[in-house]
Structure 1
Amino acid sequence: MSNNINPNKDLSLYLQLKEVFIDRIQNGDWKPDKLIPTEQELMKEFNVSRTTIRQAVSILVQEGMVEKKQGRGTIVKSRKLSGNLTQLKGFAEEVLERGQTPRSRLIRAEFKYNLYHEMSMLDVKDDQPILLIERIRFADEMPVALERTCWPKDIGDILIKYDLDEARYYEILEKYNVYLNRAKEKISAINATINEADELGIRAGEALLEMTRLSFGVNDRPIEYTKTKYRHDQYHYSFELKR
């Protein structure tokens, strides 16, 4: 682990320390939900004052990277996944970009005829089934989201052949020259039902972030209708506004 700080730099010692601490969190040296070293240990390691240590840690608290626990010390907060409203990505891509490991657990996968709203969104006729897939999505073994995806039959016939616990839909479809071009998304705040809470390891009634996505292929054909419910403490959306 690096402890390279330089008293002769123009940058204040506490700001140098802050950068070292951030590196340790991002590199996994300081792990989520675990205590960071005590003030005394950090003072000895970096040969700086208690005030300098506290200034650096205070910034990390303000930035939401660590949290002070009464009677315990300072712990590293679990990292939230971040969705970007300007890019069309799958859950696994977002997790991998954060340096975490994605995983899924299949709840069910079946062709259905009676999902009239979903069929309408996908522009599917009443005599054609659509593939419904429901999964729990994990990041580093933490349950993060409940995902419910619907696909037209020809797309479903491709996906159903794969291990849906592991499948990354967009990567699979690209092997068959099926590419997503754009998507419409709607984001809402909802509360978890008892069943949803059980699946996600939270309390019933806790806030969830619900994202509804309709994705289109290169010929502007709708090919994916997805509703994903994210734990509010594990996921957020970020975007840039310009004027």
Structure 2
Amino acid sequence: MMTSSRSPLEPRAALHRVIGDELRARITDGRLPIGAALPSEAELCREFSVSRGPVRQALAALRAEGIIAGGQGAVAHVVGSVPTQSMTSFLSFSEWAQSTQRRPGQRTVELAKRAATEDVAAALSVPVGELVVEIIRVRLLDEVPVMVERTSFTLEAGRHLFDFDTDSGSIFAHLKGNGVELVAARHTFDAVAAEGIDAEMLDVPSGSPLLRERRITSTGAGVPVEYSDDRYVPGQVTFTINNTAASGSSVVRLVPDQ
């Protein structure tokens, strides 16, 4: 039986990531093929010398990624392979732009702690008025403004932005490097008109149509940490959605318009 290589000094909060990474490795290399049952919670607790909490968090993360199904009374089993594109690389505008041979850029308009509005509080599951970290940036492709990004983070996650140059690159990469868990996201798409400051920042006429993506990003345990309202110039960026019937999951990718 494989045992965890975790150091005794590793923070308890990281235990579920150790377990999740090990299970992903077994799924990737075929030790746990599609259809195979995972070890029971009790077996995983013994193997990793942990309580049930970290085990359940790890399994919840794998379920959120569409890799396993079942659990919580039913036998957990593998239903999909580990995605080749990580959640972070999708959510990171900078990494996506570089992968398409475009030059990403950003201009920070504002970074501040603010009281959560009703919409932000509902998205982040915090009380109205609780302090959150809000950032507004204009995102660029080859120096052309293509998106206005308005993002709110829980205070615990967003506090790391105050020691980061938000004009230098990917916020998500910086947060991940500081241990912020960004595992699953729910996306809502619609169309809105460019008004006021949005039209000015994107250099489009007032009333022009914009593609809006609203996103709630959560930890593996389903705790929301980020809410974003992103507004794209439709002549510059489109979205492609790929569905996988076997796992019931979807992968959404940004696609540059030619």
1:194 to 193, 196, 212: 196
213-222 or 166-175, which deviates more: 166-175
Q: Which runs of 4+ in 1 moved over 6 A?
A: none
Retained in 2: the 8 A contact 1:88–1:182?
no
- Counterpart Cα distance in 2 of 1:173 and 1:195: 28
Offset of 1:207 from its aligned partner?
Answer: 1.2
Retained in 1: the 8 A contact 2:149–2:228?
yes
Specify the alignment match of 2:215 in structure 1: 213
SS at match of 1:130: strand
Q: Does 1:137 align with 2:133?
A: no
Structure number with bigger Rg: 1
5 Å-filtered alignment, 1:151-230, equals 151-230=153-232
Cα 1:241–1:178 shift into 2, 3 Å: closer
Offset of 1:175 from its aligned partner?
Answer: 1.2
Tell me the alpha carbon deviations over residues 26-45 of structure 1, each in whole angstroms, 9 at most, x when there is no partner.
Answer: xxxxxxxxxxxxxxxxxxxx
Offset of 1:214 from its aligned partner?
Answer: 0.2
Specify the alignment match of 2:118 in structure 1: 116
The amino acid of 2:114's aligned partner reads K
- Counterpart Cα distance in 1 of 2:235 and 2:119: 30
Q: TM-score, normalised by structure 1?
A: 0.61
Tell me the alpha carbon deviations over residues 164-222 of structure 1, each in whole angstroms, 9 at most, x when there is no partner.
Answer: 12241211122122221110000001111132111111111111000000000122210
Cα 1:182–1:241 shift into 2, 3 Å: closer
Offset of 1:127 from its aligned partner?
Answer: 5.7
SS at match of 1:187: strand
Tell me the alpha carbon deviations over residues 113-169 of structure 1, each in whole angstroms, 9 at most, x when there is no partner.
Answer: 142220221112346300110000001101000000000111121112111122412
233-242 or 94-103, which deviates more: 233-242
The amino acid of 2:120's aligned partner reads E
Q: Which runs of 5+ in 2 are unaligned?
A: 1-86, 246-258
213-222 or 227-236, which deviates more: 213-222
- Counterpart Cα distance in 1 of 2:93 and 2:172: 10
161-170 or 95-104, which deviates more: 161-170
- Counterpart Cα distance in 2 of 1:213 and 1:88: 12
For these two proteins, the number of residue pairs brought into alignment is 158
Retained in 2: the 8 A contact 1:147–1:227?
yes
- Counterpart Cα distance in 1 of 2:198 and 2:156: 30
123-132 or 110-119, which deviates more: 123-132
Q: Which runs of 5+ in 1 are unaligned?
A: 1-84
The amino acid of 2:100's aligned partner reads R
Cα 1:115–1:127 shift into 2, 3 Å: closer
